[in-house]
Amino acid sequence: MAFSLEKFIHSLDPRALPRVLQIQSGIYCQGSVYEMFGNECSLSTGEVIKVIGFKINKLIASTCENNEGSQFSAKVELPLNFPGLYKVVADKTPYVSIEEISRKVSIGPTRFGHPCFYSAKDIKLANFTIKHGEQITFNSVEEVNGTMAVNCVVVRNNQSHSFTLPLSQEGEFYECEDNQIYTLKEIAEWKIPKCRNRIVKLSNTLHMWDSSRPFPENFDGHLILMPVYEVQAIMKFRKDVVHILSDLDVEVKDITDCYDIGSFLQPLSLEDIFERTSKEFPMVAEIMEGPSGSQKPYNLLSTGKEIVIYKKYQAARVLASEMRSDSSKRHFLIPMSYKGKFKRRPREFPTAYDLEIARSEKEQLHVVATKAFVSFHKELFSVSVGDQFLVQQCQTSEVLYEGRKKLIDVLACEQILSDSYKKVLLPMYMEGGFVEVIHDKKQYHLSEICKEFRLPFNVKVSVRDLSIEEDVLAAAPGLQFEEEITDSYLLISSASSPVESWEIPVYRLNMLVHLLSKDVQTVVPPVTRTMVEEVSKEEYYMLRRYENLALHPPPRPPKKPT
């Protein structure tokens, strides 16, 4: 049976990929050429393509005349980066089984992928009963004792109860109200169910869009969103990946079950390559879709180029950010092989508690106060702007509090006077401001800083890395080394001229290759070139989020007495 491409993609379960489709009919007659995103794609009647992936490219929004969305006005096309924050309106149409939920709703490892539902009736499990109307959080889908099931959590009396629901579980399941706010891109990636539209409520929008907002004056904030997908496909006699929008006016037929899918090239992502065993390396691959970017080696990884992939491994990086007060600060991942040198820059500390955290046995911390503070107790010191201190240690001190003596945590310091030192006590709850005074003029390599000092640590490049054509770190006014992370990399080189090799990140580089049955000329990789990777703001927050999952945050500073 033939379907429109739009209807087929909207109902397609990503777990069923890849699928082989035959073009049945459309406005594009035989021999026509359809060009999209720089790829020419001949969609002749009878043409066979293999769909390997799809993602939302843009959204078609209709303004609701009422909250139910039963009436709507003219449609507006919204890019995924359209500014504003949105609330998701709960879908009032029930799901009839857990299997339908798992097939149509995104369930994944991040907080966006934990949808919440409630059942219209009680569900009795072996040793647990889910009450009707009780919020059920869906965390992940996996095989349990040979049966596919969803890992769920119910919270009762501030206690979490975990259990599984098999996909075969039937019932009447409704979406719970969601009080979180999301960007349009987050909604597109996680909050639009398959085969259903999504109603959202606009919470606010950025002022720069006010003068040209695409919505009517009486707009109440409710939008019906319909996704338009970008389909990734492979054609029979081409070695690149073509991109087709799902609203293209053609009809297709799914012929996967009666077609030799192995006759197409097999595209592999970098994640697919990384999952291969170490014994399979080195290997030769041809790039089917290269990454975007002008810095090396990304500008060398063009479609059709052959590369050698020598090995996979985990490597250490230092996550660093520019020291700038505006929102345009850049973020970098610096390899330990970076050959430049750094000089220390002063750190800033907002509280006395931060001084205690930064205190080191290696050297005495010298700071200048940038904000005045008046102490509540005569036993503790009042700080003036410009006061200088040498930080000593944390201890307890007895103070008079509401007529009674009380022990509180304090920071023992020495105030630097013109010709002497004065011992003073600063309360840990002190909200002031301090800037570090640097006496160390030494130049450090990156590995030395990670070994000798505690991060975060402020520096500036004093000697740039001459092995890098354009050292982006040297132009930064200052850098804060935030933390050391471990990430996954592949070591590659050009197959035709293997004079140098590069480390490429597995999870931040969108790239597709197919393997070639060629022997690797040299098993030993050429010299590895150092590459400082600039990461986007979104990638930066994802790196910090996942790296900090296993770390316990420091305790909050003690509160000042009321």
- What percent of the chain clears pLDDT 90, i.e. is strictly above it? 41
The pLDDT of residue 398 is 82
Neighbours of 499 (CB within 10 A): 9
pLDDT interval class at 162 (50, 70, 90): very high
CA distances from 535 to 326, 331, 334 (A): 17, 6, 11
Q: Residue 316: beta bridge partners?
A: 486
More confident residue, 29 or 303: 303
DSSP 324-374: -SSTT--EEEEETT---EEEE---EEEEHHHHHHH--SSS--EEEE-S-B-
The residues that bridge with 405 in the sheet, in sequence order, are 400
User: What percentage of residues in the chain have a pLDDT greater than 70?
Assistant: 88
First to last CA, the chain: 74
Confidence band of 285 (pLDDT split at 50, 70, 90): very high
Under the banding of pLDDT at 50, 70 and 90, the label for residue 412 is: very high
Beta bridge partner(s), residue 119: 173
Cα 504 to Cα 516: distance, rounded to the nearest angstrom: 20
Spatial distance between the Cα atoms of 75 and 139, rounded to a whole number of angstroms: 34
DSSP state of 304: T
Decide which of 152 and 39 is more confident: 152
The Cα diameter of the chain in Å comes to: 94
The confidence score (pLDDT) of residue 294 equals: 66
Taking the whole predicted model, whether its pTM rises above 0.85 is answered as: no
Residue 52 CA, chain-centre distance (Å), reads: 23
Give me the CATH topology for the region 348-436.
SH3 type barrels. (2.30.30)
Q: What is the mean pLDDT of residues 105-123?
A: 89
Local structure of residue 208 (DSSP, 8 states) = G
Token readout for 222 is 């409710």
Unique residue bearing structure tokens 């001084």? 355
Q: What whole-number distance in Å separates Cα of residue 142 and Cα of residue 154?
A: 18
Task: Kindly state the average pLDDT of the residues 386-397.
Answer: 91
Average pLDDT for residues 309-338, to the nearest whole number?
90
Residue 4, judged by CB atoms within 10 A of its CB (0-12, 13-18, 19+), counts as: middle
pLDDT of residue 124: 92
**Exposure of 504 by Cβ count < 10 A (0-12 exposed, 13-18 middle, 19+ buried)?**
buried
* Residue 557: predicted pLDDT: 53
Q: How far apart are CA 407 and CA 398, in angstroms?
A: 5
Decide which of 42 and 437 is more confident: 437
Whether residue 65 has pLDDT greater than 70: no
Mean pLDDT of 382-395: 91
Residue 238's pLDDT is: 75
Report whether pLDDT(192) > 60: yes
Q: One-letter amino acid identity for 546? A: Y
State yes or no: pLDDT of 49 exceeds 70.
yes
Q: Which has the closest alpha carbon to 266: 507, 52, 509? A: 52
State the virtual CA torsion across 455, 321, 500, 513 in degrees, nearest 10.
Answer: 110
Taking only Cα atoms into account, the Rg of the chain, rounded to an integer number of angstroms, comes to 30
In the 8-state DSSP scheme, what is residue 454?
A: P
The encoded tokens of residue 200 equal: 């959202």
Instruction: Give me the pLDDT at residue 544, please.
Output: 75
> Which range has the worst mean pLDDT, 333-342, 351-360, 407-416?
351-360
Indicate the domain borders of the chain: 3-58+229-263, 75-202, 267-345+439-550, 348-436
**How do residues 84-93 score in pLDDT, each as one tens digit?**
888 999 999 9
- Contact 246/5 with Cβ under 8 angstroms? yes
The answer for 235, left when phi > 0, alpha when psi is -120 to 50, beta otherwise, is: beta
Handedness of CA 440, 444, 446, 451 (dihedral sign): negative
Are the C-beta atoms of residues 97 and 166 closer than 8 Å to each other? no
For the cut 60, the answer to whether the pLDDT of residue 559 exceeds it is no
Instruction: Read off the pLDDT of residues 208-217 as tens digits, 9 standing for 90 and up.
Output: 444 455 666 6
What is the mean predicted confidence (pLDDT) over 194-202?
88
Q: Which residue has the tokens 């504003």?
A: 84
User: Would the pLDDT of 178 be above 70?
Assistant: yes
CA–CA distance, 283 with 298 (Å, rounded to integer)? 19
Q: Give me the chain's average pLDDT, please.
A: 85
Predicted confidence (pLDDT) at residue 17 exceeds the cutoff of 70: yes
Q: Counting runs of H as helices and runs of E as strands, what totals does the chain give?
A: 7, 36
The region of weakest confidence among 24-28, 156-160, 218-222 is 24-28
Please determine, for residue 471, whether its predicted confidence score (pLDDT) is greater than 80.
Answer: yes
Q: Label residue 158 left, alpha or beta by phi (over 0 means left) and psi (-120 to 50 means alpha).
A: left
Task: Compute the average pLDDT of residues 77-82.
Answer: 87
- Tell me what the mean pLDDT of segment 111-119 comes to: 91
| pLDDT 10s digits, 513-556 | 999 988 887 778 888 988 899 998 888 887 875 544 444 444 55
